[in-house]
Amino acid sequence: MDLRAELLKSIWYAFTALDVEKSGKVSKSQLKVLSHNLYTVLCIPHDPVALEEHFRDDDDGPVSSQGYMPYLNKYILDKVEEGSFVKENFDELCWTLTAKKNYKPDRNGNSVVSHQDAFKLWCLFNFLSEDKYPLVMVPDEVEYLLKKICTAMNVELNSCELDDYLSQEPQGQGGLTVWQFLDMVNSGRFLRGIEQEAISMAVEEVYQEVIEDVLKQGYLWKKGQLRRNWSERWFTLKPSALSYYMSEERKEKKGSITLDKHCCVEVLPDRDGKRCMFCVKTSSRTYEMSASDTRQRQEWTLAIQTAIRLQAEGKKSLHKDLKQKRREQREQREQRKAAKEEETQRLKQLQEEKERKLQELELLKEAQRQAEILLQEEEQRRRQQHEEMQRTLEIQLREAEEARASMQAEMVLKEAEAERQRKRILELEDMQERLQEALQQEVKARQDEESVRYAQARLLAEEEEKLKQLMKLKEEQEEYIIKTQLEKQVLKQEMENKNKCLEEAQKQLEEVRVNRQRVDQDVMAAQRKLRQASTNVKHWNVQMNRLMHPIGPGDKRTNVSGGGFAGYQPLLSQRESSLR
């Protein structure tokens, strides 16, 4: 997310806060005031002429966000230079405008977070929200932010209760707005039983880590370059530099180590009475440092290596990179979910295709059974006709023999009968040829039956091939699920390691707070002594003024007194200047 997108998110809140009627438009006078304030906090030279000319027309009505965007881009955002302004002041301006209208803490003072902590949570929300308007934060990012805050307090977040809360919200599944998120935090549902001071410290720690890109901070011993002595300094590590200060208040900066891809960090053996040593090598100098223990040295070396890796990859922020990776993982999950749904739909279509094929197969089997029944009936009918014809022929032959035996004497008369019989035989031969044609048709029908059976076998083979493909797809899906579970276990192990590192950082923070209280007591004692000394100086000034009061002319001791005070006057002036 670039600087322009970050600024637009905060400006969007300011614009919507000025839209009192929620019509999507803001009056021109309010936009002029907003633009003037943006010029100031972004350290851009004011251009009142361009402002007046842009909003000067005959229409005195309000302006929509689309009408304000050309001016905002041309005269403000295009002139912004990163590093030339304080981002926190810009965010405070936009927060002040939008919080007056939208942020509603508990009137009885029972809010879990203070107004300043609410501002930091608002900044964190803007950083983690999606790049779509209106701005919302998806449930995964809500859980991520709450887990970081709870981890900073050594408290475990109840994910099940968070899921129940999001499921009860009307728009919880699609994401929460910043005001819904702040109401959820102020409700105390997830931070019950925790003091407001602890919550404030946790929010500050997460704010520094995510918004200010502080990878790690704490006390280290540093070896000087000229005197070669060891001094304890408060170090703050960011992706671009390792800065060190006199104390954790970071008011007096002593120096900075610029990090680039050519830098490296190495562990050194114990020497000079120092232990747990390591060094940071740049192109111009080597910086030697000492940690309090081995664990701290390992954490610092890993954090510095992370900063160097970010510089080598051309990345300015660790959490911007992590946010992009989480967004890509969500997109991949959505793609996998869509692919799974598509696969399920395809399997459903294959199942329907299979059922349709089975129905067609059943229809073919039914047609085949009907054809077999018809063939059997036709064959039986033909067999009966053949038997009847054979019986008829046998009867006729018996009658012919009987007639020939009985009527041998009547040969002449029977020749006509013989001629008739020959005609009958020709008819029988014709009938025999028809029988042969019928047999050929039967053979052809059997061949058609064989072709139908071959088509049925081919359909069964295709069905078996599709079943094999379906089983192969199922095996690939199971392998992918196993792989995803392994990756999830690896990520869980990394989260546990980070939680351990944060717990150690919390312990060090407690030690630093104790030291800070002790230093505050010493400062108060010194202030009391200073006030006492100031009282004494005032008293001596009064005494000196009395001694220096001139004597009237009527006094007899004028010359003596004048001579005495004249010699004493330089001493008084010298005493007064020294006291001052």
Phi, psi (degrees; rounded to nearest 5) at 279: -135, 155
Closest CA relative to residue 100, chosen from 89, 88, 115: 115
Closest CA to 186 of 116, 108, 113, 126: 113
Decide: 512 and 219 in contact? Cβ < 8 Å: yes
pLDDT the model gives residue 141: 86
| pLDDT by residue, tens only, the chain of 580 residues | 478 888 888 888 888 888 777 777 888 888 888 888 888 888 888 877 776 777 665 455 566 667 778 888 888 888 888 878 888 888 888 998 888 888 887 666 567 788 888 888 889 888 888 888 888 888 888 888 888 888 888 888 877 877 777 777 655 557 888 888 888 888 777 777 778 888 888 888 888 888 888 889 999 999 887 778 889 999 999 988 999 999 888 888 899 999 988 899 999 998 878 889 999 999 888 999 999 999 999 999 999 999 999 888 888 788 888 888 888 888 888 889 888 999 989 999 999 999 999 999 999 999 999 999 999 999 999 999 999 999 999 999 988 888 878 888 778 777 887 888 888 899 898 888 888 888 888 888 888 888 888 888 888 888 888 888 888 888 888 888 888 888 888 888 888 888 888 888 888 888 888 888 888 888 888 888 888 888 888 888 887 787 776 655 655 444 433 444 444 445 445 545 554 4
Name, in order, each residue with C-beta under 8 angstroms of 413's C-beta and a sequence gap of 6 or more.
407
The residues spanned by each domain of the chain are 214-316
Say what angle helices 139-152 and 115-128 make with each other, to 10 degrees: 130
pLDDT confidence of residue 279: 93
Q: What is the DSSP letter of 62?
A: -
Secondary structure letter of residue 79 according to DSSP? G
Task: Give the pLDDT score at 169.
Answer: 66
Q: How many whole angstroms separate alpha carbon 414 and alpha carbon 422?
A: 12
pLDDT at 315: 81
DSSP 159-196: HHHHHHHHHHSTTTTT-B-HHHHHHHHHTTSSSTT--H
Q: Which residues pair with 271 in a beta bridge?
A: 274
CB half-sphere exposure, 230, CA atoms < 13 A = 13
Residue 481 tokens, joined = 């699920």
At the topology level of CATH, where does 214-316 sit? PH-domain like (2.30.29)
Q: Positive or negative, the Cα torsion across 431, 434, 440, 444?
A: negative
Tokens (6 digits) for 36: 């003037």
Residue 560's pLDDT is 37
User: How far is 59 from 56, CA to CA, in rounded Å?
Assistant: 8
The whole-angstrom separation of Cα 117 and Cα 95 is: 12
Q: From CA 553, how far away is CA 564, in angstroms rounded? A: 16
Q: Return the pLDDT at 289.
A: 92
Distance CA(178)–CA(101), nearest Å, equals 13
**Residue 321 neighbours by CB under 8 Å, 6+ apart:** 310, 315
Which residues is 219 bridged to in the sheet? 234
Q: 334: number of CA atoms within 13 Å, CB side?
A: 7
* HSE-up (13 A, CA, CB side) for residue 373: 6
- Token pair, residue 200, equals 């404030």
Classify residue 81 as exposed, middle or buried by CB count within 10 Å of its CB (0-12, 13-18, 19+).
exposed
Closest CA to 414 of 398, 403, 427, 428: 403
Instruction: Judge contact between 278 and 301, C-beta under 8 A.
Output: yes
239 contacts 319 by C-beta, under 8 angstroms: no
Q: DSSP letter string over 100-163?
A: HHH----TTS--SS-HHHHHHHHHHHHHHS-SSSS--B-HHHHHHHHHHHHHHTT----HHHHH
3-class DSSP assignment, residue 257: strand
